[in-house]
Chains A and B, each alone.
Chain A
Amino acid sequence: MIEERFDAIVVGAGMAGNAAALTMAKRGMKVLQIERGEYPGSKNVQGAILYADMLEKLVPNFREDAPLERHLVEQRFWMMDERSHTGLHYRSDDFNEEKPNRYTIIRAQFDKWFSSQAQEAGAIVLCETTVKELVKDAYGKVIGVITDREGGEVHADVVVLAEGVNGLLGTKADLRERPSPDKVALAVKEMHFLPRETIEARFNLKGDEGVVIEAAGTISRGMTGMGFVYANKESVSVGIGCLVADFQKSGETPYDLLERFKKHPSIAPLIEGSEVKEYAGHLIPEGGYKAIPQLYGDGWVVVGDAAQLNNALHREGSNLAMTSGRIAGEAIFQVKSRKDPMTKENLALYKKMLDESFVIKDLKKYKDMPDLLHIQSQNFFLTYPQLINKALQNFVRVDGTPKVDKEKVTIRSFVSARSWAGLFGDAFRFARAWR
Chain B
Amino acid sequence: MTVEAPIRVEDKLFQNRYLVDVGNAHIRVKPHTKPSAELLALLKVCPAHCYELNTNGQVEVTPDGCVECGTCRVIAEGNGDIEWDYPRGGYGVLFKFG
Contacts and interface: CB of A to CB of B under 8 A. Distances in A.
Nearest to A152: B89
Interface stretch (B27-35, B40-48, B53-61): B40-48
Given A168-B85, A235-B97, A255-B47, A283 B74 contact: yes
A407 interface: no
B7 interface: yes
A256 interface: yes
B89 A148 contact: yes
A341 interface: no
Contacts, number: 133
B12 A36 contact: no
Interface in A189-203: 190-191
Contacts of A228: none
A100 interface: no
B2 to A, nearest CB: 11
Contacts of B90: 36-38, 127-129
A174 interface: no
Contact of A282 (B69, B92, B96, B97): B69
Interface string A140-163: 000000011100000000000000
A180 interface: yes
B98 A280 contact: yes
A277 B15 contact: yes
Contacts of A276: 12, 15
Contacts of A280: 16, 67, 95, 97-98
Contacts of A129: 89-90
Given A43-B68, A186-B69, A244-B45, A279 B12 contact: yes
Contact of B47 (A43, A168, A186, A278): A186
Contacts of B73: 166, 178
Contacts of B87: 130
A256 B7 contact: yes
Nearest to A167: B70
Given A44-B98, A149-B89, A283-B69, A248 B15 contact: no
A279 B98 contact: no
A42 B69 CA distance: 13
Given A36-B86, A36-B90, A130-B87, 12 more contacts: A41-B95, A45-B95, A107-B97, A128-B89, A184-B74, A247-B41, A247-B71, A253-B45, A253-B49, A255-B7, A276-B15, A283-B70
16 contacts: A38-B19, A41-B98, A44-B98, A46-B98, A127-B89, A148-B88, A168-B86, A247-B44, A248-B41, A253-B45, A253-B47, A259-B7, A276-B15, A279-B15, A281-B71, A283-B74
Interface of B: 7, 9, 12-13, 15-16, 19, 38, 41, 44-45, 47-49, 67-71, 73-75, 77-78, 85-90, 92-98
